[in-house]
Amino acid sequence: MKNNHEIKKYSGSKILVTGGAGFVGCNLAGQLAELGADVTIVDDLFTGELKNIENIPIKDFIKGDVRDERLMKKIIGKFEFIFHLAARNIIVSTKNPLEDYSVNIGGTLNLLLQLKKSKNLYRFLYTSSVSIYGNTRYIPINEDDSYNLLSPYAVSKLGGESYTKVFYENYDMPTVVVRYSNVYGISQNASNPYCGVISKIIEKIKNDQRPLIHGDGEQTRDFSYVKDTVDATLLAGISDKSVGEVYNIGTGVETSINSLVALINQLYHKDISPEYIDRRDIDNIRRRVVNIEKVRRALKWIPRYTLKHGLSETIEWYNSL
C-alpha cells in the first residue's frame, strides 16, 4: 500500500471489528493485528467462522450480537476505532427481512447510541454495499447517484448508512461509510452457504464440475479483491479527510459472469462450460460497475490487483486447503 505512513497510525490503537470472524472481517482484523493494533472481535458466528481467526493475534474474541444493548454498553466505550462489518447478507435478508432489519439497522443504531458518550472514539466506520444503487440509468455509478432499492438487504444497508450519517450531522460523531462491491478472495470458503459467486465457481471448476450460472451469464459486476478492499477501508478509517464522507470501493472494471467463468477456467487450464439455471429473487441487477474517482482523489487509493491477479491468489489459497 502506498499510504503506509497513514495506516501505521493504527499501531497500539484499541480497535473493535464487528463481524470480524466473517470473510472481509477476518482479513481486516488480520491486517490491523499485523500493524500492531489491539484488536477485539465481536461476532455471533451466524456466517462467520472461528477458523477464520484462529491464526490472527487478536487481543480478544467475544461471541456476541451487535443488537445486545448490555454487551455493547459494557465494552464499546474503550475503543478508539469501530469497524462495523456485522450484518445479515443478501441471501439471508431475502429469506428473513425482519431479521435483516433487526441486525443491519437495529444493530447499527445500537452501536451508535452506545457510542454517543464515548470520549475515546476516533472513528466509526460503517461498511455498506453498492447493492443500494440497484439498476442505475448510467454507469459507472457515482456516490451521489440515486438509489434503486431492489432487496431487503439494500434497504437495510442504506438504513444503517443513514443512521451513521445522522449521528455525524446531529451528534458530531466521527463517522465514515464505505460501499463494498462484490468482494472476493482468501477466506471466502465455498463450503459456507452464504459465500459469493467467485468461490462457488472456483470450487466447481477445481473439482471438474460445471459451475451453475443464474440467468444468461451476461449480467456484470465490479469484483473487488479483498486485499484492496481492506486497504481502502484502513485508509478511510484513519484519514482526517474521510469524516462524514461516503466512498465507493471497487475497481471501476465491469466483468460479466461468463467472462469470469472463462478466466477461472484459463487459470485452471480447463474448459468447463457453465450450466445455466433460473434466476433467483436476488439476481435482479443487470449491470454494475462503480466510479472510484472520489476515493482516489481524497485518499490517494487505487486497487493494486487486477481480476486475474486476485483470482490467481485466491485459487492458490483454495488449492492449499
The pLDDT of residue 194 is above 60: no
Q: Which residues pair with 126 in a beta bridge?
A: 84, 177
For range 28-57, the mean pLDDT: 97
For range 72-85, the mean pLDDT: 97
The pLDDT of residue 283 is above 80: no
Which one-letter amino acid corresponds to residue 185?
G
Identify whether 133 is a catalytic site residue: no
The pLDDT of residue 5 is above 90: no
Structural domain including 54 reads 4-181+225-250+290-305
In a domain, 44, yes or no: yes
In a domain, 191, yes or no: no
* Extended beta strands in the chain, E state: 14-18, 38-43, 60-63, 81-84, 123-129, 175-180, 183-184, 212-214, 220-221, 224-225, 246-249, 255-256, 275-277
Question: Residue 172: left (phi > 0), alpha (psi -120 to 50), or beta?
Answer: left
CB 3 within 8 A of CB 300: yes
Higher pLDDT, 5 or 28: 28
Rounded Cα gap, residues 151 and 280, in angstroms: 12
Q: Give me the chain's average pLDDT, please.
A: 94
The pLDDT of residue 1 is above 70: no
Q: Which residues pair with 42 in a beta bridge?
A: 18, 62
**Domain CATH number, residue 117:** 3.40.50.720
The pLDDT of residue 135 is above 70: yes
Q: How many domains does the chain have?
A: 1
**Which grid coordinates belong to 10?**
493504527
In a domain, 158, yes or no: yes
Model pLDDT, residue 192: 64
* Catalytic member of 10, 126, 133, 153: 153
In a domain, 205, yes or no: no
In a domain, 220, yes or no: no
Q: What is the pLDDT of residues 249-261, one digit of tens each?
A: 999 999 999 999 9
Q: CA-CA distances (angstroms) from residue 234 to 42, 274, 301?
A: 18, 37, 10
Which one-letter amino acid corresponds to residue 201?
I
In a domain, 50, yes or no: yes
In a domain, 70, yes or no: yes
In a domain, 82, yes or no: yes
Task: For residue 321, name the pLDDT band (cuts at 50, 70, 90).
Answer: confident
The pLDDT of residue 190 is above 90: no
For range 149-173, the mean pLDDT: 97
For range 237-246, the mean pLDDT: 97
The pLDDT of residue 280 is above 80: no
